Amino acid sequence: MQEVKDKFRESMSRLASGVTVVMTEVDGRPWGLTVSACCSLSMEPPLILVSLATKAASTQAIINFNRFSVSILAEDQVEVAKLGAKPGAPKFFEDFVETDDGFHYDVKDALANIHCRVEQIIPAGDHTIFIGYVENVLLGEEKSPLLYFGRQFGVFNTGLTG
Ligand SMILES: Cc1cc2nc3c(=O)[nH]c(=O)nc-3n(C[C@H](O)[C@H](O)[C@H](O)COP(=O)(O)O)c2cc1C
């Protein structure tokens, strides 16, 4: 079984993905976690899915706050992604956050910020799946996306400037 798990981990590193930061609130301050396990789930109603390690501080924070935002990162936002991926470190995001409607925090200059209310929470192995009801979307400038592949950040050449 260990061999299968190792190969499974390796296989997933070969799936290129976009990079998001899932923002929520901790102690009244913005807090973000870097997440690639994110996909749109439904348009009617508008639902989005993110999967977070259950032991991540963000998981309990989202359960407490009942709201989260998904910020889709642009190619020039590697530093933002690295902050949200630092194991065990506090992930307060004041330096990268722009607005707050009282319920949501937006990563400045992200490609999009998707505001969600928690609709459903599903335990799945060592992760927790959050299904969010999309309450609002703020579209940023159209720029090239930040990607993750082979445990490295990279870019997709869209011809758009980052
Ligand atoms: C590109 C990238 C994508 C990631 N995607 C996820 C993800 O989908 N879900 C998750 O729980 N962690 C994901 N992680 C790992 C977390 O960001 C990282 O483990 C974080 O440090 C955990 O925070 P914690 O130490 O507060 O638990 C990803 C990391 C990177 C660099």
Which residues, other chains included, contact 23 with Cβ-Cβ below 8 Å and sequence gap of 6+?
30, 31, 32, 68, 69, 70, 71, 93, 97, 104, 105, 106, 107
How far does the centroid of ligand 1 lie from the alpha carbon of residue 58, in Å? 10
pLDDT in tens, 1-46: 899 999 999 999 999 999 999 999 999 999 999 999 999 999 999 9
For the Cβ of 129 lying below 6 angstroms from any atom of ligand 1, the answer is no
For the Cβ of 77 lying below 6 angstroms from any atom of ligand 1, the answer is no
pLDDT in tens, 41-91: 999 999 999 999 999 999 999 999 999 999 999 999 999 999 999 999 999
* Residue 102: per-residue pLDDT: 77
* Residue 152: per-residue pLDDT: 97
How far does the centroid of ligand 1 lie from the alpha carbon of residue 2, in Å? 22
Among protein residues, the one with the nearest Cα to ligand 1's atom 22 is 87
- With 0-12 / 13-18 / 19 or more C-beta atoms within 10 angstroms meaning exposed / middle / buried, residue 8 is exposed
Q: Which of 12, 14, 33 to mutate to test the pocket of ligand 1 (most atoms within 8 A of CB)?
A: 33
Q: Which ranges constitute the DSSP H helices of 18-157? A: 57-65, 78-83
Which residues, other chains included, contact 120 with Cβ-Cβ below 8 Å and sequence gap of 6+?
129, 130, 131
How far does the centroid of ligand 1 lie from the alpha carbon of residue 35, in Å? 5
